[in-house]
């Protein structure tokens, strides 16, 4: 494990994306988002996803020349076809449109169908709260999790994001419908560690906290057991419903494992149309403070609200460097040198 400064990381990732064929602006935006994710401590969907994204581009699973195309617009709701373009730039476009609609109507809802992997879902919640909006966003995915009681994968882990601005910082929940995302399993395995709690079953059906056997079996555990399974199924159906797009069973027919063809929803709320900015931020701050004041359980030093760890990591890693797995970093450096000379 090494420490890499943000600017060095971004320049290296950007060059890797340029070498993959992205335009200057695309490479810059995507490198910024990947590096922000790692800087926030979400290594699994930051630096660790760079090589995978480059591979998807090379295989033609991501159309780097595509732009979102308007399908339908009525009032505060807009629907776009992502045309299998770059997931990050598509999603940033969608959350920006949702904010613009929320400025006018109080609520903005943008459905984005036929897009590709948006990387860290929390990115789009953070982009909203940084401009003073609240947000609810989610995506469906290819099947990567068994429904509760099943062995084979028929359900996506369908990440879900909620974000509310505070007076300083924000409440931001970014979670998959699996107990641990596959990215978290990878990060834990690369560290040679076990999961804090069991995260799935091995190929023989034994519950385990060792990430490797779960990755092999693909029997990850739904969050909250049957409740997480049910919520994942409904998030999939609602994403397809609100975008007239593909549910998981159709995404599986496109390209197994790539998330190509996903359906995403971006709901943004303008506090000025509800309780007002001052009330909303003060309320959210009181929620965070009330949670922080909890009596820690045995073996726990403090109780944190959603998004608090992210903000601490951001400050720490910006100042002191971002931790990177040496093997992952070497792979990205090699991608950055392919045609850079």
Query: Which positions are catalytic?
Result: 45
**Among all chains, which residue has been given the structure tokens 């599986």?**
252
Query: Quick one: tokens of 206?
Result: 């034994």
Q: Is 168 exposed, middle or buried (0-12, 13-18, 19+ CB in 10 A)?
A: exposed
Q: Are strands 107-115 and 77-81 parallel, antiparallel or unpaired?
A: parallel
Pair 40, 119: CB distance under 8 Å:
no
DSSP E strands, 87-128: 107-115
Answer whether 76's CB lies under 8 Å from 109's CB: yes
106: region left, alpha or beta (phi > 0 left; psi from -120 to 50 alpha): left
Instruction: Give me 35's structure tokens.
Output: 């590096």
Taking a C-beta distance cutoff of 8 angstroms, is the pair 263, 140 a contact? yes
Are 123 and 36 in contact by the 8 Å Cβ rule? The answer is: yes
Structure tokens belonging to residue 97? 């449109």
């Amino acid at each position: 494990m090494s420490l890499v400064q943000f600017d060095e990381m971004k320049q290296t990732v950007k060059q890797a994306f340029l070498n993959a064929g992205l335009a200057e602006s695309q490479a810059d935006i995507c490198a910024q988002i990947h590096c922000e994710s790692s800087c926030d401590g979400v290594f699994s969907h930051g630096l660790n996803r760079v090589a995978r994204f480059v591979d998807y581009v090379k295989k033609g699973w991501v159309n780097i020349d595509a732009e979102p195309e308007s399908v339908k617009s009525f009032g505060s709701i807009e629907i776009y076809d992502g045309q299998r373009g770059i997931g990050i730039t598509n999603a940033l476009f969608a959350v920006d449109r949702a904010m613009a609609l929320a400025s006018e109507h109080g609520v903005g809802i943008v459905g984005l169908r036929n897009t590709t992997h948006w990387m860290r879902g929390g990115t789009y919640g953070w982009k909203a709260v940084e401009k003073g909006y609240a947000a609810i966003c989610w995506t469906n995915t290819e099947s990567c999790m068994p429904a509760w009681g099943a062995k084979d994968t028929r359900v996506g882990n369908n990440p879900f994001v909620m974000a509310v601005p505070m007076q300083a910082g924000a409440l931001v929940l970014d979670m998959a419908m699996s107990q641990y995302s596959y990215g978290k399993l990878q990060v834990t395995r690369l560290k040679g560690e076990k999961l804090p709690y069991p995260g799935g079953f091995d190929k023989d059906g034994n519950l385990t906290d060792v990430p490797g056997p779960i990755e092999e079996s693909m029997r990850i555990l739904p969050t909250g057991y049957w409740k997480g399974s049910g919520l994942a199924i409904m998030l999939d159906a609602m994403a397809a419903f609100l975008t007239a797009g593909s549910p998981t069973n159709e995404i599986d027919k496109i390209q197994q494992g790539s998330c190509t063809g996903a359906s995403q929803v971006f709901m943004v709320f303008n506090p000025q149309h509800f309780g007002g900015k001052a009330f909303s931020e003060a309320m959210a701050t009181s929620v965070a403070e009330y949670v922080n004041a909890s009596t820690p359980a045995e073996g726990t030093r403090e109780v944190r609200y959603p998004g608090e760890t992210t903000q601490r990591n951001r400050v720490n890693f910006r100042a002191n460097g971002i931790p990177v797995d040496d093997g992952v970093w070497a792979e990205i450096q090699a991608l950055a040198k392919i045609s850079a000379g």
